[in-house]
Amino acid sequence: MQTVPVAGIVGPTNVQSSITVDAERTVNWFVEFVGAGTPKVQASLQPTPAVDLFTITGGGPHRASLSINGRAFVVSGAWLYEVLASQTSVIRGEVGNDNRPATIASNGTAGNQLLIVSNRLGYIFNLETNTLTQITDASFPDEVLQGLFFDGFFIVLTPEGTLFLSDLEDGTSWNALNFFAENQFSDTVIAISKTHDNLWLYGTQNTGPYYNSGQPISPYIPIPGSLIEHGILAPFSALEIDNTTYWLSQDEHGRLGVCSGQGYIPVKVSNPAIDYKLGRSNRLADSIAFGYQQGANLFYCLYVPDLDTTIVYNIATKQFHEWAIWDTDLMRFVPHVARTHMWAFGKHLFGDRQSGALYSLDETLGTDNIVRMAL
């Protein structure tokens, strides 16, 4: 379904602090520009596609997902599941559960391992034997917040802001000397991500890009002149998408909104209306980002637990819209059920934020087929 653009109707969400200025909302629709050719109109409203139940993985909630080399995995509640193309799933092992986001990383065919960080503990899943074990190496930190794979190493972040590296292509083996800490700024590193061939260390007020120097121990060192004087507000808001990173930013002066990295320069993409909406949340630090692509549109989605909708930035059009579910009991919008995303088996698969349901995007459906829950 398409609609003909009319001034004041076809546009992005733009509710200002003063609704006499602008109170328009675009909920479960997004603006799409026509592009080439000589169309009758230059833009139209497109509906956000519905989701259909793909499978159920325990009681949930979904806390992490990863698709790698034809296989797909999720952390749902206290369990690691492998999701199969047959729309079934297999329990692969138990992990610690605090209902907060977890991370899954893979070293691919070089090591055939997954690193799962959940409830501040680290686990290795062997892709050849399908066995999950907690990391017991004495050199592995007692508590870890996030993990990723980069340049042959698994890397984990501790609550103190220190980063530890595994042995090359082996997440079961860790060297007590192979660690490093950010020393360019004084705020604690609370999140990590990779962008291009750089490792980004996010503090609460600053961000430090690092590169692999090739030295055998603690190879990651700061990139000269790259220090970014913007930190991160929500550790799980950083998302690598569209060849760069988007995150919920802040600095020493306060909250800044959603930013993207253009090289080592942070560019703010959120506008006053979105900043106003974000400012009404008391749980911004718990925000979780995920992304997906639909046609020519690439979306950065931000789930903020105490807001009424999921905030979505369309990178293609540089406009925001909202994604939501209408609660027929409360008679109001609540955020969309999606909290995680992976592309697997030729489908967009979204993990439910409160249940164990895993959904696939379906552009042929007119309404969402979701598991009923306390939205």
Domain positions in the chain: 53-362
Phi-psi region of 177 (alpha: psi -120 to 50; beta: other; left: phi over 0): alpha
Question: In this predicted structure, what is the pLDDT of residue 229?
Answer: 94
pLDDT at 57 over 90: yes
Q: What is the mean pLDDT of the chain?
A: 93
pLDDT at 375 over 70: no
Per-residue tokens: 125: 């899943």
**Helices within the chain (DSSP H only):** 108-111, 272-279
Cβ contacts of 255 within 8 Å, gap of 6 or more: 233, 249, 275, 278, 279, 284
Question: In this predicted structure, what is the pLDDT of residue 197?
Answer: 87
Question: In this predicted structure, what is the pLDDT of residue 2?
Answer: 41
- Across 11-15, 219-223, 280-284, least confident range: 11-15
Cβ pair 156, 162 in contact under 8 A: no
With H, G, I as helix, E, B as strand and everything else as coil, classify residue 299. Answer: strand
Stretch 100-114: mean pLDDT, rounded? 97
Question: In this predicted structure, what is the pLDDT of residue 32?
Answer: 87
Question: In this predicted structure, what is the pLDDT of residue 6?
Answer: 53
pLDDT over 90 percentage in the chain: 79
CB atoms < 10 A from the CB of 30, how many?
Answer: 25
* Beta partners for residue 254, in sequence order: 251
Rounded distance, CA 357 to CA 261, Å?
33
Cβ contacts of 314 within 8 Å, gap of 6 or more: 30, 31, 297, 298, 299, 320, 321
* Beta partners for residue 365, in sequence order: none
pLDDT at 1 over 70: no
pLDDT at 374 over 50: no
In this predicted model, what pLDDT tens digit does every residue of 299-321 receive, in sequence order?
999 999 999 999 999 999 999 99
- State residue 278 phi and psi, 5-degree precision: -60, -35
- Across 138-142, 143-147, 275-279, 326-330, least confident range: 326-330
Instruction: Output the CA–CA distances (angstroms, integers) from residue 154 to 175, 180, 192, 235, in the order listed.
Output: 12, 14, 12, 18
E strand or H helix at 172, and its extent?
strand 170-181
How would DSSP label each residue in 72-129?
EEEEETTEEEEE-TTS-EEEEEE----SS--EEEE-HHHH-EEEEEETTEEEEEETTT
Question: In this predicted structure, what is the pLDDT of residue 103?
Answer: 98
Stretch 145-168: mean pLDDT, rounded? 97
Please state the separation of Cα 107 from the chain's center in Å.
19
Per-residue tokens: 189: 């590193």
The per-residue b/e assignment along 334-357, b for 16 or more CB within 10 angstroms, e otherwise, is bbbbbbbbbebbebbbbbbbbbbb
pLDDT at 149 over 70: yes
Per-residue tokens: 102: 């977890």
Cβ pair 163, 178 in contact under 8 A: no
* Beta partners for residue 64, in sequence order: 75
Rounded distance, CA 159 to CA 141, Å?
10
pLDDT at 354 over 90: yes
CATH architecture of the domain with residue range 53-362: 7 Propeller (2.130)
Whole-model pTM: value is 0.94
Rounded distance, CA 356 to CA 63, Å?
10
Stretch 37-56: mean pLDDT, rounded? 85
In this predicted model, what pLDDT tens digit does every residue of 176-217 receive, in sequence order?
999 999 999 999 999 999 988 899 999 999 999 999 999 988
CB atoms < 10 A from the CB of 228, how many?
Answer: 21
Rounded distance, CA 70 to CA 58, Å?
22
What secondary structure letter does DSSP report for 279? H
